[in-house]
Amino acid sequence: MRPFDYQRAERLEHAAQLAAGEDTMALAGGTNLIDLMKLQVETPQTLVDIGRLSLGEIADDGEGLRIGALASNTATAAHPRVRSDYPVLARAILAGATQQLRNKATTGGNLCQRTRCYYFTNIDQPCNKREPGSGCGAIDGIAKLHAVLGTSPHCIATYPGDMAVALSALDATVEIAGDGHERSVPVREFHLLPGDTPERDNVLEPGEIITSVTLPAPVGGTHIYRKVRERSSYAFALCSVAAVIDMADNRFTRADLAFGGLAHKPWHDPRIADLLIGSEPSAALFDKAADLLLEDAQGYGENDFKIPLARRTLTAVLCEATGVEA
Amino acid sequence: MSVHRKQDAPDERNVLDTTKQGVLGEPLERPEGLLKVTGTATYAAEFDAENCLEGVLVTVPVVRGKVTSIDRESALQMPGVVAVIADERLTGRAAQGMAGEAPFQPAQQVCYWGQPVALVVAESFEEARDAAKHLAVEIDEDGDEAPLDPDAVEAEQRKPTKNGDLAHAMTQAVHSVDATFTTDGHASAAMEPHAAMAQWDGQSLTVHASLQMLKFNRAELADSLNLKEEQVRLISPYVGGGFGSKLGISEEAVGASLAAMELGKPVRVVMSRQQVFQTVMRRSETTQRVRLAADGEGRLTGFGHEARVSNLPGEEFAEPVLQSSQFLYGGDNRLLQLEVARIHRMTAGSVRAPGEAVGVQTVEQAMDMLAEKAGLDPVELRLRNIPDKHPAKDKPYSSRKLAECLREGASAFGWKEGPRKPRHTREGEWWIGSGVASAARIHAVVEAKARVTLRPDGTALVETDMTDIGTGTYAILGQVAGEMLGLSLDDVEVRLGDTDMPPGSGSGGSFGASSCGSAVFLACEGLRDTLAEKLGIEASDLSLKDGFALWEDEKKAITEVLDGKAIEEIGHFEPGKSTEDYAVASFGAFFAEVAVNHWTGETRVRRMTGAFGFGRVLNARTARSQCLGGMTWCIGNALTESLLFDPTDGHLANCDLAEYHVPVHRDVPDLEVLLLEERDAAASPIQAKGVGELGLCGGAGAIANAIYDACGARVFAYPMTPDRVLAAMPEA
């Protein structure tokens, strides 16, 4: 760990001012950032502790729900409205990390968590995300956890989280405050693909801080979060599917799907809902949905298995939601 | 006074079955348990000393080369930095178990990625860590590309076991199996990282360390530092898990010692989790070919087991994959052949039941395949192939509960008899199946000494440098002494883990309990003789119970017999011919039920039964816990544990507990353990064998067989992760 300055923000405006400084990072739960600082993967000059700001509230927001950026993952997953109206979110959160980590981890921090690529977390290895231009160790290396969708020649890392995958299926919005401004970004647009700038995980600009995530009015339906992993807890997803599905007269009326473990961001492909809505569920239809999802999928040897695994996991989720047997 | 016994013949007296206290074998709680669960047991890194400096090892991202220069000056400019130690005596790897001499020196000769080459010492840990990360080290990299892939180099052949003609037996067999399996590398993954705090007074060195085998470690450290053994004292009362990783002295203890000697101040070195993974010891990956030839009844006529493992050049240790294949099953035509590939990954050494932990499960999968071909119940096939005597050496088994473990385990588990056909049960998305495997582990005993003092107040003190690595040594040594001296466990104090005390066996190879237990037993025999002498009776007429001496109709308090004077004995146990004249080993059986997800290939163990026979049970609670631990490792071994090495530079990619997947609680279902008591007079004077590792020897094979029974996926690669299961699943 490198020596750093520690500042505690007392008010939001103060936090945004502080966070705009050079080499400055905001500290919330610290479950990811502090580990990375110990490894010198992150070496901020200044840490702005936003933990004392009043951003922990979970409250009704019109017909929807506003989840404060500092609400703990545990509090969000246990919140009665989340459990009754957005169960896919509760399930996704509870599928991630461990109870101890969820107690500390926050909504905003979770969205900003960094990849678990082995080459990113080892400062003696090349990584374009950590050190632009140094190369990508994973492409010809250990890539079992890595992305098959939306990769670039510079980076094949995945976004590791679960919560954001559910937020993507729910079409939630990220509320952001900067020094003197506020803006809203749909979760589906919050994370970026690696492209030529894999060092950028998301759209946050220096000095911007997430204040909350807002969920639209509840839509009902069947909520599923399916996470495939090697061990049954404390493991990142090989592949995950968040699904909000509704049917009428044996036809899809809603099919909001998002995928984790496959890309640099929670993956959402609007063509899948377009295909499913209005159609009768069947194994053949699910196969077509998987074809769309995986049309441009590319494996890197070790992670080739993710392509058939994603197909099978999507099929399993759609079968579970619709009662189709395949 | 001292009682020495070299065991050249079985000890059939079974003295411990004639004693009266009734404390031995009882499921007593560990006396130090409360200290451990309340965080008040002091582990190596927690010892403190005034003005203690902190050291952090400097590792280099190079596979092979020589350090040519180290920029000490710029490190010394950094805040708090006191010294950069790059002494030629620094070691770049750990000693192998029971080496008793310095491991490879100097550390400046780099042989694997992540090798420590220096130590930065600073006033605070954070300062030392930062400076260690920044220390500029120049390395003259070896021009030749270092071999990294065990399958791409020629291997050295070890001496094979050959009987008859296996190839011919295979051609003549009615049923045969010829299968090749792979197992990935493993890390010990002990919870407590390697740590040492060293103090030097100008003449003698005292090191608080986390080590398993102090008498060997003392010799290794002294040799590393060019000191006399008498100048070195090691203190290690509690060890937070070893699993083989702390058998030999390692880099942090040598580094802390050198720094303390150079600076004249106490120095503490604690490895980071990543350093523990990257530098200590790995279990080698293996490739194993198993050949079984059988007659029409499924009786083995040929047995072949060939394995390739790897290690660094110059390391003698080779994962002893074939150890139990020597004696577990019959077959007149035999070929057992081990070979070692020389590659530049970190040292391969003892990790949790070296050999059997990966060698039995592949044989057990092959046996399952044979049972299917022969149309036999897998349990029945195994029962048919238990040999009458050691199949290659013509000597009898000292004791063996294999058949009983298979039968009683099957009954407790609710095993359905008969030939098996996969994909018989489905619950929703999950295929359900069950599998069996035998367990086997070689027996070893090691020279050990212990001093037992009967104090004037009638309580006893047991002292040895033996360690407790979480296994229950404090409890079982106290129970042996209590049983022999007629005392409750509360009246026996056990002191461990200090080389100022008589040298025990150390903890390793499942031999600690039987070896040190025997030393305590012998010391107590001496004390009983002394008491009998004081009473003027024959020792054989003396009983001791609840603090009283009993003989004929007489009864006298031990305190009275002692009459204010302590008596002490040193028991000195030495292995002799008794373990050579017999095939001595521990045996058992595993039964596992798994669920395999049809869609994702995820496998979850639903329940598991293990039945084990390992001689006398010294404490039914700690023995059971050992078995539970072993069975938990079976789940990791079968499903998740794998060291991932980068193909380009050979570095270990998954070097923490988030990414190296040991089982989590949710992966470990209800585990049932059956202890089948027996007495093994050839194994040790206390008729005990080892249990520490037995629970890990074969159980992954039961899980693999259950996966096949469930979904029809015969997977030949461990661990059986979802991708591997899916690839083998029919119609997937």
Residues B279-319: tens digit of each pLDDT:
999 999 999 999 999 999 999 999 999 999 999 999 999 99
A&B contacts, CB < 8 Å: 95
Contact B79 A3 (CB under 8 A): yes
Whose tokens are 């949710």? That residue is B666
Task: Read off the pLDDT of residues B590-600 as tens digits, 9 standing for 90 and up.
Answer: 999 999 999 99
Q: What is the band of B144 on the pLDDT scale with cuts at 50, 70, 90? A: confident
pLDDT above 90 covers a percentage of chain B that reads 98
Contact B727 A1 (CB under 8 A): no
Contact B666 A232 (CB under 8 A): yes
Task: Read off the pLDDT of residues B431-479 as tens digits, 9 standing for 90 and up.
Answer: 999 999 999 999 999 999 999 999 999 999 999 999 999 999 999 999 9
E-strand stretches of B386-505? 425-427, 430-442, 448-454, 460-463, 492-495
Using DSSP's 3-state secondary structure scheme, residue B6 falls into strand
The domain made up of B352-443+584-728 has a fold known as Aldehyde Oxidoreductase; domain 4 (3.30.365)
CA gap A137, A119 in Å, rounded:
6
Contact A232 B600 (CB under 8 A): no
Contact B639 A230 (CB under 8 A): yes
Where do the domains of chain B lie?
2-41+447-576, 42-351, 352-443+584-728
Q: What is the pLDDT of residue B730?
A: 94
CA A304 to chain centre: 22
pLDDT for residue B143 is more than 80: no
ipTM value: 0.97
Nearest CA of chain A to the CA of B723: how many Å?
6
Task: Read off the pLDDT of residues B197-224 as tens digits, 9 standing for 90 and up.
Answer: 999 999 999 999 999 999 999 999 999 9
Residue type, B649: D
Let me know if domain B2-41+447-576 sits in CATH 3.40.920.10: no
The nearest alpha carbon in chain A to B644 belongs to A142
Of the candidates B599, B600, B664, the beta carbon closest to that of A233 is on B664
Calculate mean pLDDT across residues A74-86.
Answer: 98
Give phi and psi for B381, each to the nearest 5: -60, -40
Calculate mean pLDDT across residues A125-147.
Answer: 97
- Pair of tokens at residue B150: 């065990």
Which chain B residues touch A124 with a CB distance below 8 Å? 61, 651
Contact A137 B646 (CB under 8 A): yes
The nearest alpha carbon in chain B to A97 belongs to B658
Which chain A residues touch B129 with a CB distance below 8 Å? 1, 38
**Fold: same for B2-41+447-576 and B352-443+584-728:** yes
Contact A228 B727 (CB under 8 A): no
CATH tag for B42-351 (out of 3.40.50.1980, 3.40.50.300, 3.30.365.10, 3.40.50.2020): 3.30.365.10
Of the candidates B129, B599, B723, the beta carbon closest to that of A1 is on B129
Per the residue annotation, which of B533, B678, B693, B731 is the catalytic one? B693
B693 annotated active-site = yes
Q: What is the pLDDT of residue B233?
A: 98
Residue ranges of chain A whose CB lies within 8 Å of a chain B CB: 1-3, 38-40, 116, 118-119, 122-125, 137, 140-142, 144, 228-235, 238-239, 305, 308-309, 312-313, 315-316
CB-based burial label for B167 (10 Å; 0-12, 13-18, 19+): middle
Q: What is the pLDDT of residue B505?
A: 98
Give phi and psi for B191, each to the nearest 5: -70, -45
- Pair of tokens at residue B400: 């063996």
Nearest CA of chain A to the CA of B81: how many Å?
14
Task: Read off the pLDDT of residues A225-273 as tens digits, 9 standing for 90 and up.
Answer: 999 999 999 999 999 999 999 999 999 999 999 999 999 999 999 999 9
Q: What is the band of B731 on the pLDDT scale with cuts at 50, 70, 90? A: confident
Where do the domains of chain A lie?
5-49, 222-322
Q: Answer left, alpha or beta for residue B58, where phi above 0 means left and psi between -120 and 50 means alpha.
A: beta
Of the candidates B126, B721, B732, the beta carbon closest to that of A1 is on B126
Q: What is the pLDDT of residue A211?
A: 97
A 10 A CB-CB count for B12 gives: 9
Residue type, B579: T
Of the candidates B645, B661, B719, the beta carbon closest to that of A235 is on B661
The nearest alpha carbon in chain B to A319 belongs to B429
User: pTM surpassing 0.90?
Assistant: yes
Q: What is the pLDDT of residue B142?
A: 79
The domain made up of A5-49 has a fold known as 3.30.43
Q: What is the pLDDT of residue B601?
A: 98
Whose tokens are 């956890």? That residue is A145
Contact B664 A137 (CB under 8 A): no
pLDDT for residue A73 is more than 70: yes
Nearest CA of chain B to the CA of A18: how many Å?
25
Which chain A residues touch B653 with a CB distance below 8 Å? 118-119, 122, 141-142
Nearest CA of chain B to the CA of A195: how many Å?
24
Task: Read off the pLDDT of residues A200-234 as tens digits, 9 standing for 90 and up.
Answer: 999 999 999 999 999 999 999 999 999 999 999 99
pLDDT for residue B51 is more than 80: yes
Which chain B residues touch A230 with a CB distance below 8 Å? 602, 639-640, 661, 719, 721-722
Mutation pick from B599, B644, B656 vs chain A, by most beta carbons of A within 10 Å, is B599
Residue ranges of chain B whose CB lies within 8 Å of a chain A CB: 61, 79, 126, 129-130, 133, 274, 429, 598-602, 604, 639-640, 644-648, 651, 653-654, 658-659, 661, 663-667, 719, 721-723, 726-727, 732
Calculate mean pLDDT across residues B417-427.
Answer: 95
Contact A118 B653 (CB under 8 A): yes
- Strands B333-342 and B300-311, by their bridges, are parallel
Contact B658 A234 (CB under 8 A): yes
Q: Are A88 and A217 contacting, i.e. CB atoms less than 8 angstroms apart? A: no
Contacts of A126 (CB under 8 A, 6+ apart): A119, A134, A135, A136, A137
Task: Read off the pLDDT of residues B544-562 as tens digits, 9 standing for 90 and up.
Answer: 999 999 999 999 999 999 9
Q: What is the CATH number of domain A222-322?
A: 3.30.390.50
Mutation pick from A31, A35, A40, A124 vs chain B, by most beta carbons of B within 10 Å, is A124
H helix and E strand count, chain B: 17, 32
Q: What is the pLDDT of residue B23?
A: 98
Which chain B residues touch A95 with a CB distance below 8 Å? none
Mutation pick from B113, B667, B723 vs chain A, by most beta carbons of A within 10 Å, is B723
Using DSSP's 3-state secondary structure scheme, residue B514 falls into helix
CA gap B614, B688 in Å, rounded:
7
Task: Read off the pLDDT of residues B116-141 as tens digits, 9 standing for 90 and up.
Answer: 999 999 999 999 999 999 999 999 98
Calculate mean pLDDT across residues A58-71.
Answer: 97
Mutation pick from A123, A232, A302 vs chain B, by most beta carbons of B within 10 Å, is A232
Cis upstream peptide for B106 (omega within 30°): yes
Contact B666 A228 (CB under 8 A): no
Q: What is the pLDDT of residue B732?
A: 63
